[in-house]
Amino acid sequence: MPGFEVFGAEEKQHVLEVLDTGVLFRYEFGGQRNNVYKVREFEQAFARYTGAGHAQAVTSGTAALKVALSALGIGLDDEVITQGFTFVATWEAILDVGAIPVFTEIDTTLNMDPADLEKKITPKTKAIIVVHMLGAQARIREIKAIADAHNLPLIEDTAQAAGGRLDGQHLGTFGTCGTFSFDSVKTMTTGEGGMCITSDEQLWQRMSEYQDHGHDHAVNPGGRGGEGRSFVGFNYRMMELQGAIGLGQLAKLDGMIAAQKANKALLKEAAAAIPGVSFREILDEEGDSATFFAFMLPDRARAQAVNQVLRDNGAGAINWGENSWHFYPSWEHLLGEKTLCANGWPFTAGGKRRFHYDRQALPASAAIMDRTLCYQVPVKPAPADQAALLAALAKAAKL
């Protein structure tokens, strides 16, 4: 991880085919494009790859979440449950449609705790977003059973887990829809870009139209139709150059994951010698996309001591308890209710506070995060860098 490590002739060829047409827009200009529709081809290839009925390309993983939520009809003051360990985009999308994020604890999978999910469901709950965080599976079957029991749509945020599977089934295909990110640090990348997948044709149609200003695609699904508009949408269209790169990257995805698995196995073998170490619970090792390697120490003090040795040897790990991007207590802009809107939206409306978050609200997650260390797993590590990391882990084993 990430896919730019393996950019090559395949991506270049697809991009050149786009440049030769002079058409970068994914729709229209039929007379100029010589039947080159790279975004549409990318969508079809991604749907086939994952086994989904339909795929809708968009401008980012964040946009994919908003498109999915909007197409599902989620809006003002609806509650959407997600987990407290995720990238900020997950709850930003919830806020952006006017809904209210509700956060669950995580468990040793580093993903949503189904038992806490059950506790957080209220009559205001309108959807659940489960995140396959750090490339490995959430307890998706248990979570889907809960969603189904409460008749709630389930979105799988699969931003960090493209190509991941559970018992052979692709992550993103268990719920109502799945969303993906192809940004600059993802296993497969288009620089920016994202994808929604679903086997619900009506939902796909709404996503297709919403991401194109609500333009009616009924006459020619995936293309512009009669230009009627049955609802208000927005512009989240992927451009042809991104679709071109996506085609090249998708063809390499399984190979990249295989390389990540091999590199992760080396890290795990080295870390296993650290006294007191344990590892993140992976529900299906074969289906792990291996984008990250996470290991735990018995407590926060021990994790800090081990990480100090790693830092002293030029190979400091991510400590999720200290990370400011991905864990609930560190989201100062959310907890501090910081906004550019003069009227306080989305934290206030009509002069009244809509919700408030307690920094201490997820103690079980905090206990896990404080003792968890993590490395991003490369596809093609430089031999010297890999040797230095393994040597640092060996020194930590002597602590």
CB atoms under 10 Å from CB of 85, counted, come to 27
Strands 352-353 and 348-349: antiparallel
Residue 300 sits in a domain whose CATH number is 3.90.1150.10
The H or E element containing residue 372 is strand 372-376
**Is the domain of 103 the same as that of 223?**
yes
pLDDT at position 321 is 82
pLDDT tens column, 287-306: 999 999 999 999 999 999 99
55 DSSP β-pair partners? 197
Does the pLDDT of residue 273 top 50, yes or no? yes
Residue type, 38: K
Judged by average pLDDT, the poorest of 24-28, 151-155, 190-194 is: 24-28
DSSP string, 73-85: T--TT-EEEEESB
**Is the domain of 278 the same as that of 212?**
no
User: What is the rounded distance in angstroms from the CA atom of residue 183 to the CA atom of residue 25?
Assistant: 19
Contact 285, 303 (CB under 8 A): no
- Looking at 66, 186, 252, 264, which residue is catalytic? 186
Could you tell me the two tokens for 2? Answer: 């990430």
**Is the domain of 197 the same as that of 321?**
no
Could you tell me the two tokens for 238? Answer: 């992927």
The residues near 382 (Cβ < 8 Å, ≥ 6 apart) are: none
pLDDT at position 2 is 83
Could you tell me the two tokens for 380? Answer: 């093609």
CB atoms under 10 Å from CB of 360, counted, come to 9
CA dihedral 339, 95, 197, 230 (to 10 degrees): -100
Does the pLDDT of residue 81 top 90, yes or no? yes
Contact 184, 2 (CB under 8 A): yes
Q: Which residue has the higher pLDDT, 224 or 268?
A: 268
**Is the domain of 391 the same as that of 246?**
no
- What rounded mean pLDDT belongs to the chain? 95
**Is the domain of 246 the same as that of 281?**
no
CB atoms under 10 Å from CB of 323, counted, come to 14
pLDDT tens column, 208-258: 999 999 988 765 544 555 568 889 999 999 999 999 999 999 999 999 999
Q: What is the DSSP letter of 187?
A: S
pLDDT at position 225 is 55
Q: How many domains does the chain have?
A: 2
How long is the chain?
Answer: 399
Strands 125-131 and 154-157: parallel
Contact 236, 59 (CB under 8 A): yes
Q: Cα 46 from chain centroid?
A: 16
Strands 100-104 and 79-83: parallel
**Is the domain of 300 the same as that of 249?**
no
- Mapped onto helix, strand or coil, the DSSP state of residue 201 is helix
Residue 157 sits in a domain whose CATH number is 3.40.640.10
pLDDT at position 327 is 95
pTM: 0.96
End-of-domain residue from the set 210, 234, 253: 253
pLDDT at position 222 is 47
Q: Which residue has the higher pLDDT, 224 or 200?
A: 200
Contact 110, 327 (CB under 8 A): no
Question: Residues 16, 17, 19, CA angle at the centre, nearest 5°?
Answer: 60
**Is the domain of 75 the same as that of 148?**
yes
**Is the domain of 262 the same as that of 211?**
no
pLDDT at position 218 is 66
Q: Is the peptide bond before 2 cis (omega within 30 degrees of 0)?
A: yes
Please, what is the angle between helix 88-96 and helix 61-71, to 10°? 40
pLDDT tens column, 108-140: 999 999 999 999 999 999 999 999 999 999 999
**Is the domain of 225 the same as that of 299?**
no
User: What is the rounded distance in angstroms from the CA atom of residue 111 to the CA atom of residue 121?
Assistant: 17
Of 340, 343, 346, 338, which Cα lies nearest the Cα of 101? 346
pLDDT at position 32 is 92
Please, what is the angle between helix 201-210 and helix 61-71, to 10°? 120
Local confidence band at 322 (pLDDT 50, 70, 90 cut-offs)? confident
**Is the domain of 104 the same as that of 153?**
yes
293 DSSP β-pair partners? 375
Of 170, 215, 199, 179, which Cα lies nearest the Cα of 68? 179
**Is the domain of 138 the same as that of 59?**
yes
**Is the domain of 365 the same as that of 335?**
yes
User: What is the rounded distance in angstroms from the CA atom of residue 353 to the CA atom of residue 347?
Assistant: 6
pLDDT at position 161 is 98
Does the pLDDT of residue 314 top 70, yes or no? yes
pLDDT tens column, 9-66: 999 999 999 999 999 999 988 889 999 999 999 999 999 999 999 999 999 999 999 9
End-of-domain residue from the set 232, 253, 274: 253
pLDDT at position 248 is 98
172 DSSP β-pair partners? none
Asked if 186 is an active-site residue, the reply is yes
3 state SS for 262-323: HHHHHHHHHHCCCCCCEECCCCCHHHCCCCEEEEECCCHHHHHHHHHHHHHCCCCCEECCCC
End-of-domain residue from the set 184, 219, 253: 253
- Mapped onto helix, strand or coil, the DSSP state of residue 195 is strand
**pLDDT > 70: percent of the chain:** 97
Domain residues for the domain of 173 are 3-253
CB atoms under 10 Å from CB of 124, counted, come to 12
